[in-house]
Amino acid sequence: MTEKEKAKAGYLYNANYDSEIVNEIEKCTDLCYEYNQIKPSDEENKNRLLKQIIGNLGENAKVTAPFWCDFGYNLYIGDFFYSNHNLVITDGAKVEIGDHVFIAPNVCITTAEHAIDAEQRNAGLEVAKPIKIGNNVWIGAGTVILGGAEIGDNSVIGAGSVVKKDIPPNVIAVGVPCRPIRQITEEDKKRYPQYPKDNI
């Protein structure tokens, strides 16, 4: 079994010294570096490179530089996605992101979990756990989402949270560790003032 096959099956795998994995990460991070050097207004070249980096990229996806990921082909991003500056995704396992997801600055989404045993860790072993983010989710600034977590549709994750367990749909969740604090209701439409003609 190859190291990539071990990773996909959920076993400890060699993420640091296996030549196939090292070469794939190098190729992807070179593309991310190139993406991060593109002039912000150059949408054509940004879209061209994003399609090379990301395994499945939906329509009208916007990724603000700088952006980094490890493999790219494990990323599945839906339509009308937006991420602000400094999104980092370590995608040793599959990362699924739904439609209409907003990600604030300085967010880290990491499937990687290093071995707790020092000997295993020093040998370069880690495990990769998939992450799933539903539709219409808003991730606040400085949030960390850890491997194995799933965030339900329509939920809001407060700034600075650490998501290590599943978050149900239709809630506001905050904290370290991140926990739901309340349901999202129709009353939330009244939270901010709206210009009368713009009422939604």
Q: How long, in residues, is the chain?
A: 200
Structural domains in the chain plus CATH codes: 3-179 (2.160.10.10)
Q: Say what the pLDDT of residue 168 is.
A: 98
Q: What is the 3-state secondary structure (H, E, C) of 50-112?
A: HHHHCCEECCCCEECCCEEECCCCCEEECCCCEECCCEEEECCCCEEECCCCEECCCCEEECE
Provide CB contacts within 8 A for 122, sequence distance 6+. Answer: none
Rounded mean pLDDT of 88-110? 98
pLDDT value at 197 more than 80:
no
114 is catalytic: yes
CA distance 112 to 127: 6
Give percent of the chain with pLDDT exceeding 90.
Answer: 92
> What pTM does this model have?
0.94
pLDDT value at 190 more than 90:
no
Rounded mean pLDDT of 153-162? 98
Q: 4, 27, 62, 114: which is the annotated catalytic residue?
A: 114
